[in-house]
Amino acid sequence: MNYIKEINSFYDWLETNSVSDSVITLWHGLMHINNKTGWKLEFTVAISTLQVKTGLSSASIKRARNVLSQLGRIKWKQRNGNLSSVYEIIPFADHSELQNEPQTVPQSVPQTVPQSVPINKLNETKQNSILLKKESKGEIPKNENSEELSQEENSDPLNTGSEEKEKSSAKKEKEIIDHFHENCNRLPKVQIINQQRKKSINARINDYGIEKVKEVIEIAGKSNFLSGENKAAWSADFDWIMKPTNFVKVLEGNYNNKEQNNGNNQSTNNGFSNQAGNSKGSSQVSGKTSFNQILARKLAEQNTADSESGNITIDVEVVK
């Protein structure tokens, strides 16, 4: 397998296949590991190793792996127990490498056009040349030629599919930006949707889904800290929220508003305040329970009693 050819072919493939940044990162990680094995057809690698190589979470790796498998870029199979999964990278250059093999039947006429150019593309080029020649001679009207060429372009299924994906992505991007403006009116507004912001939005949607992205935006909009109510008077913006690490922190509630405890923290007992003070060396308390305790203590300490009359002298000071 030719490493450079595969990378170039991969980026050519990306022009008609829109995938997230995590999918691209995982493909590069698997290619790097396969290169170290000497391009074995099948190789094993643990999720933890892929996390180190790519910087992605375990969940992101599994989602990206499924996307690559569905799009025909890799094959993988899970093994029982704690054994690492087995991977196989589907190369792009198989067809071109096969054409480089010696031909068993010699060609009577030398080829003037490389075999890598599709035959239907050659026919299309010849037809266009003929049409242009006829047009220059005045045999056909110019508008008829233009209409025919435009119909051919519109009939290209690859162009149609790519346009549909772009329209779908643009719709989701606008939906997220509008949701941000509705829920984060204390934060700076998004003025321009550049390529970097488009990538960030689509990456978060691919990783978590559009509803979860909206939820994070709503959480950020409610956060006083992210809205500038902090010692540094710093406030977040759209780009900060969309960064992978910040996105997770907001989702997990790290910037939620803290509840404030209003009023005095006084413990109560049966509606009475348990406060203690000294007056003339005696404890000052209020409440039925405290009075009974003092009465019992005074009875035990009383040294004067009239046994005949049964009268007992008790000095008790009760503060109401």
**Strand order, beta sheet including 74-77:** 43-45, 85-89, 74-77
CB 34 within 8 A of CB 176: no
- Taking Cα atoms as reference points, which of 14, 50, 47, 19 lies closest to residue 33? 50
- Give Dmax (Cα) for the chain: 149
Residue of 55, 9, 8, 57 whose CA lies nearest to 29: 55
Q: pLDDT band for position 81 (50/70/90)?
A: confident
Joined tokens for residue 228: 């500038």
- 241-271 pLDDT, tens digit per residue, is 999 999 999 999 999 998 644 444 444 444 4
- Please, is 214 exposed, middle or buried when counting C-beta atoms within 10 Å of its C-beta (0-12, 13-18, 19+)? middle
CB 77 within 8 Å of CB 86: yes
Q: What does the alpha-carbon distance between residue 26 and residue 16 come to, in Å, rounded to a whole number?
A: 19
Q: Check residue 141 and give its pLDDT.
A: 47
Of the pLDDT bands very low, low, confident and very high (cuts 50, 70, 90), residue 239 is very high
Asked if residue 49 lies in contact with residue 93, where contact means CB atoms within 8 angstroms, the answer is no
Read off the pLDDT of residues 25-39 as tens digits, 9 standing for 90 and up. Answer: 999 999 999 999 999
Q: What count of other Cβ atoms lies within 10 Å of the Cβ of residue 304?
A: 9
- Tell me the pLDDT of the chain averaged across its residues: 75
For the segment 109-124, the average pLDDT, to the nearest whole number, is 50
**Strand, helix or coil for residue 276:** coil
pLDDT at 102: 45
Q: CB–CB of 10/92 below 8 Å?
A: yes
Top-confidence range, 64-73, 102-111, 131-140: 64-73
The residue ranking higher by pLDDT, 19 or 115, is: 19
Q: What is the distance of C-alpha 78 from the center of its chain?
A: 25
| Segment 45-55, tens digit of pLDDT | 999 999 999 99
CA 244 – CA 199 distance, rounded (Å): 12
Q: How far apart are CA 93 and CA 102, in angstroms?
A: 17
Sign of the alpha-carbon dihedral angle for 273, 275, 279, 283: positive
Task: Report the alpha-carbon distance of residue 312 to residue 161 in Å, rounded.
Answer: 105
Domain-by-domain residue ranges, the chain? Answer: 3-96, 159-251, 278-320
Q: Over 80: is that where the pLDDT of 216 sits?
A: yes
CATH class of 3-96: mainly alpha
Q: Give pLDDT, residue 113.
A: 47
Most confident range, picked from 123-137, 176-190, 292-306: 176-190
Kindly state the percentage of the chain with pLDDT values over 90: 50
- For residue range 145-184, list pLDDT tens digits in order: 444 444 444 445 555 567 788 888 899 999 999 999 999 9
In this prediction, residue 128 carries a pLDDT of: 57
